[in-house]
């Protein structure tokens, strides 16, 4: 097996996510399978960052990024071809301001983010003006099975116009089934993958203290990972 080994000096790696700098006794050697990583998400600049949550592929025994849980996705579709009027969206008891029948996705996103139980940065909305709109629950609502929104239309024109909402992806469900849906630990030292090898030797941190806010933004940490790692890691 051709395995590339890269060691980064501790002082130039960002270990601010470690609650204690004494973690080496809780590490063990593993082999990363680079084919399991996404170059745009998991190793920008040619590096896999330390602090990434890892899981083990059952079939190969090799390691890759924890596959995580899914974000909720709901679609909002305006039916009946209205030519005027507005509609509102209600999420967990809070209702948006009136939204024009032909609103842009950006306008719908602004209306949803104005709700205090959603907030800025916690939904993204895409789609054409007038819909259908795709609403992704992200940020603090990521990896969560949220309530399905409801809609109240007040349209004019068209033929029996209305609004339908569907949950196309339920949040919180495991995203994978190859074994990596179970979080096993954290990559202890960043890995330079610019050499192009298929497999890399690495160190897995199996227990310790974690400063969650200091984990890299693409670490993959989510509520299910924290549950998987409970008892071996203290999150603070």
Least Cα distance to 96 among 82, 114, 81, 78 occurs for 114
Q: What is the pLDDT of residues 126-156, one digit of tens each?
A: 999 999 999 999 888 887 899 999 999 999 9
Q: What is the pLDDT of residue 8?
A: 41
Report the relative pairing of strands 99-100 and 133-137 from DSSP bridges: unpaired
DSSP-assigned beta bridge partners for residue 28:
204
Q: Residue 95: in which H helix or E strand, if any? A: strand 94-95
Distance CA 173, CA 15 (A): 30
| Whether the predicted pLDDT of 1 surpasses 50 | no
Least Cα distance to 198 among 43, 31, 67 occurs for 31
Least Cα distance to 136 among 125, 150, 149 occurs for 125
Confidence of residue 32 (pLDDT cuts 50, 70, 90): very high
DSSP-assigned beta bridge partners for residue 229:
none
For 130, residues 6+ apart whose C-beta sits below 8 A from its C-beta are: 78, 101, 102, 103
| Whether the predicted pLDDT of 215 surpasses 70 | yes
Counting Cα atoms < 13 Å in the Cβ hemisphere of 92 gives: 10
Q: What is the pLDDT of residue 24?
A: 58
Confidence of residue 6 (pLDDT cuts 50, 70, 90): very low
Least Cα distance to 33 among 69, 10, 1, 8 occurs for 1
Range 177-201 burial, b when 16+ CB lie within 10 A, else e: eebbbbbbbbbbbbbebeeeeebbe
Three-state secondary structure call for residue 85: strand
| Whether the predicted pLDDT of 9 surpasses 50 | no
User: Is the model more confident about 46 or about 63?
Assistant: 63
């Amino acid at each position: 097996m051709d395995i590339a080994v890269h060691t980064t000096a501790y002082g130039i790696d960002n270990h601010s996510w470690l609650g204690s700098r004494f973690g080496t006794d809780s590490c063990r050697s593993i082999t990363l399978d680079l084919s399991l990583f996404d170059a745009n998400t998991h190793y920008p600049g040619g590096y896999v960052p330390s602090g990434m949550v890892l899981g083990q592929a059952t079939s190969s025994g090799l390691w890759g990024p924890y596959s995580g849980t899914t974000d909720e996705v709901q679609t909002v579709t305006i039916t009946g071809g209205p030519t005027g009027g507005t509609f509102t969206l209600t999420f967990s008891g809070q209702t948006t301001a009136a939204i024009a029948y032909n609103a842009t996705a950006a306008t719908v996103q602004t209306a949803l983010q104005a709700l205090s139980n959603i907030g800025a940065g916690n939904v993204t909305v895409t789609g054409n003006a007038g819909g259908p709109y795709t609403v992704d629950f992200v940020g603090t609502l990521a990896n969560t099975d949220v309530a399905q929104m409801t809609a109240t239309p007040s349209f004019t024109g068209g033929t029996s116009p209305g609004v339908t909402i569907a949950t196309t992806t339920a949040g919180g469900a495991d995203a994978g089934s190859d074994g990596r849906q179970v979080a096993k630990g954290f990559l202890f030292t960043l890995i330079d993958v610019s050499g192009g090898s298929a497999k890399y030797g690495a160190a897995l941190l199996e227990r310790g203290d974690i400063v969650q806010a200091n984990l890299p933004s693409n670490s993959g940490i989510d509520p299910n990972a924290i549950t998987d790692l409970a008892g071996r890691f203290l999150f603070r």
